[in-house]
Amino acid sequence: MPDTPFEFSQIFAEEMDISDPLVGFRDKFHLPTLKGKECLYLCGNSLGLQPKTVSSYVAAELEAWAQKGVRGHFEGENPWVFARKPAKPALSMLLGANPDEVTPMNNLSSNLHLLMVSFYRPKPGKYKILTEAGAFPSDQYILASQAKFHGFDPAEALIELHPRKGEHVLRTEDILNKIEMHSHELALVMMAGVQYYTGQWFDLEQISACARAKEIPVGFDLAHAIGNVPLELHKWNVDFATWCSYKYLNAGPGNVSGIFVHERHGHDFQGPRFTGWWGHDEDRRFLMEGTFKAMPGADGWLLSNDHVLGLAALQASLDIFQEAGMNRLRSKSELLTGYLEFLIQKISKDQSTLQVITPSKPTERGAQLSLFIHQGGKKVFDQWTEQGVVADWRNPNVIRIAPCPLYNNFTDIYKFGKILENSFRKFVEK
């Protein structure tokens, strides 16, 4: 690809696309239309696009069901009793984990509750949870309800991290200082990997190291991180994590989640956990024994049998990730997001009307820029929608733009820049 500096021109964008080693991957996805025209889809941080192979992957399982019925659990190329296993190599690659440290299961909220049963073990004087202020509402609800379940007042149990006055994102040193300051009363550090509203990618390695040094369990919600930014959960000694698969992972609306449990817990876990049939030793599962023997690794947290059709859709996307490789995806993501930032800054100029609140450093963000609109933000967003831009509005005044490297290209970003230029003049500069 040509080196930056970037240029606000169609020729430049087209040249970038021609030299893009991942250019062909766009054709692997269905691109939505609006009013009969192809959209500028910049919303993969909310719902990723459908891989064209999903229908054949799911159809294969439907055919197995039609032809084999219950025998499909044990017969065929992918017996349903092992349906989760093909996902493990790709999930391991995306998470920086060993295959036995990950497993696809349930949904994110259910998984976070299950993991907190095991890793949030509060006691009088040491019961508090550190998290970022403005975490995604489901995480806020879960953390508060877990504290309340254990008999603690959520208003006292939750310690929220706020940016400094006049800033929009957290400084890593402030997070670490907060852990140090409250280490005597913290029972858990639980944060997002990438913050949904600002797009900030937290320094998970430093946060984990700081918490672990104080013997505080640490976990992350990776809903906006997996498939978006490179992760090394095993190396960083993260205790646990969970995610969803319908954002950057492109597995379809509401599809199967997954968990990571570090091997130091998965192979010698002495703490409590809620158990189910599918987490029992698979070599003895169908003996219908009454005494539970956990499977090694993350599989020991499984509850019920695998979601076969959902896993088929997930696998279609994971196979694309394996082919593309996270290193190449990350390189393109940095360029796409950098080009988007360049155009926004060139067009807006005056930050009193529009401000990018996502960090400028690529090491502190993924494939997302959050635009803080000081004037006429919803009108701007609605106009973009009318012109075929699919983005994401978040109250009170942020528009999230997510250029995903698997299916977005530089021409998309250029076209968005032209729309931004026109709408900025019409609505913001009045």
Mean local confidence (pLDDT), 332-344: 97
Q: Which of 246, 250, 336, 232 is nearest to 22 (CA)?
A: 336
> DSSP secondary-structure letter at 2?
P
Q: Report yes or no: 269 and 70 within 8 Å, Cβ to Cβ.
A: no
Q: Is the pLDDT of residue 375 over 90?
A: no
Rounded percentage of the chain residues whose pLDDT exceeds 90: 88
Q: What is the DSSP string of 27-96?
A: GGBPPPEETTEE-EE-BTTTSPPPBTTHHHHHHHHHHHHHHHGGGGGTSSSS-GGGTTGGGHHHHHHHHT
Is residue 159 within a helix (H) or strand (E), and if so which, with residue range?
strand 158-161
Stretch (H or E) spanning 346: helix 326-348
- The answer to whether 399 and 392 are in contact (CB under 8 A) is yes
pLDDT tens digit string along 49-59?
999 999 999 99
E strand or H helix at 332: helix 326-348
Q: How many alpha carbons lie under 13 Å from residue 157 in its C-beta half-sphere?
A: 25
Q: Contact, 16 vs 2, CB < 8 A?
A: yes
Tell me which residue of 332, 223, 277 sits closest to 81, measured CA to CA. 277
Domains and their CATH numbers in the chain = 10-30+326-428 (3.90.1150.10), 58-322 (3.40.640.10)
Contact 151, 94 (CB under 8 A): no
**Could you tell me if 333 and 367 are in contact, meaning their C-beta atoms sit under 8 angstroms apart?**
yes
Dump pLDDT digits (tens) for 92-102.
Answer: 999 999 999 99
3-class DSSP assignment, residue 15:
helix
Indicate whether 22 pLDDT > 90. Answer: yes
In whole angstroms, give the CA distance from residue 106 to residue 303.
9
Q: 218-221 and 240-243: which strand pairing?
A: parallel
CA 267 to chain centroid: 26
- In this predicted structure, the answer to whether residue 40 has a pLDDT above a threshold of 70 is yes
**Beta-carbon contacts of residue 190 (< 8 Å; ≥ 6 apart):** 116, 120, 129, 130, 131, 139, 143, 218, 219, 220, 221
Residue 426, pLDDT above cutoff 90: no
* Residues 105-146: tens digit of each pLDDT: 999 999 999 999 999 999 999 999 999 999 999 999 999 999
Which tens digits make up the pLDDT trace of 169-190? 999 999 999 999 999 999 999 9
DSSP code for 6:
P
| Residue 240 near residue 257, CB atoms below 8 Å | no
Contact 423, 384 (CB under 8 A): yes
Enter the tokens of residue 385. 């929608």
Q: CA–CA separation, 153 vs 101, rounded Å?
A: 33
What pLDDT score does 200 carry? 98
Using alpha carbons, list the distances in angstroms from residue 13 to 2, 227, 407: 10, 24, 15
d(CA 271, CA 294) in angstroms, rounded, equals 12
Q: Is this model's pTM higher than 0.85 or not?
A: yes
Residue with tokens 């039609």: 66
The pLDDT tens digits for 230-271 are: 999 999 999 999 999 999 999 999 999 999 999 999 988 889
Q: What pLDDT score does 1 carry?
A: 44
Q: How many CA atoms lie within 13 A of 268 on its CB side?
A: 1
**Residue 424 confidence (pLDDT) above 90:** no
| pLDDT range class, residue 34, cuts 50, 70, 90 | confident
> Is the pLDDT assigned to residue 2 strictly greater than 50?
no
| pLDDT-based confidence at residue 427 (cuts at 50, 70, 90) | low
DSSP state of 19: T
